[in-house]
Amino acid sequence: MDTTTALFYVFSAVLLFAGFRVITARSTVHAALYLVLAFFNASCVWMLLRAEFLAIALVLVYVGAVMVLFLFVVMMLDFNNEQVRDGFWKHFPLAAVIGVVIALEMAVVLLGGFRLSEVQPMAPELAQLGNTKALGVVLYTQYLYPLEIAAVILLVAIIAAIALTMRRRKDSRWTDPAEQVRVTKAQRLRIVNVPVAREAAASTEQQAAPNGGQA
């Protein structure tokens, strides 16, 4: 066993352990940190496969941006996850069986792509380029239409998320920017006269004083 194979098994073992701890950690913050560890080990595996662009994109995009946002939201909300985790170990065996079945189905579908009889050589004009530049050339030439379809799907998802957030609900608090712009000076400040209950306060003081307030 050479060094690359040994590192692959080490990174894969840590990746599996971190992925398992993501769903079993009692603290949400700890689960997010284990997910960061899983991302780092996945990027190390990609580095061993000489996919430097995917490795650095995983670190910069997911670890540097997405996970920081997750941690910020989790620490800001500070919700109690005991109710969420109620009955976790009760339903864990069924969830584990379903997960194994899904993994086997994915293995049946994806293993065919790894059984390559002949490795297709890279084009001579791409062989002189780096991995990142060669990936960009192939992505924006041969796979341009799938890339555009994925971009449209993400755009629809963003619009749907905004529409669901901005819909009018009874418990939602939102303001119309057009009404805020049209507001006048007189509408910004409203003075309310509040009557002062002096007589009630004086009677309370007299009752509290000894001998009915008499000297």
Tell me the CATH number at 54.
1.20.120.1200
Q: Which of 50, 80, 110 is the last residue of a domain?
A: 80
- Domain that residue 37 falls in: 1-80
Residue 120 pLDDT > 70, yes or no? no
In a domain, 115, yes or no: no
In a domain, 193, yes or no: no
Three-class SS state of 120: coil
In a domain, 116, yes or no: no
| pLDDT score of 13 | 94
In a domain, 10, yes or no: yes
Residue 215 pLDDT > 50, yes or no? no
Which tokens sit at 124?
């001579």
Number of domains observed in the structure of the chain: 2
Residue 166 pLDDT > 80, yes or no? no
**pTM as predicted:** 0.58
Q: Which of 167, 183, 199 is the last residue of a domain?
A: 167
Per-residue pLDDT band for 52 (boundaries 50, 70, 90) equals confident
In a domain, 200, yes or no: no
* Identity at 150, one-letter amino acid code: A
| pLDDT score of 83 | 67
One domain for residues 66 and 11? yes
One domain for residues 3 and 68? yes
Burial class, 28, CB count within 10 angstroms (exposed 0-12 / middle 13-18 / buried 19+): buried
47 neighbors 55 (Cβ within 8 angstroms): yes
One domain for residues 73 and 11? yes
Q: What Å distances lie between residue 146 and 58, 99, 160, CA to CA? A: 21, 29, 21
One domain for residues 71 and 135? no
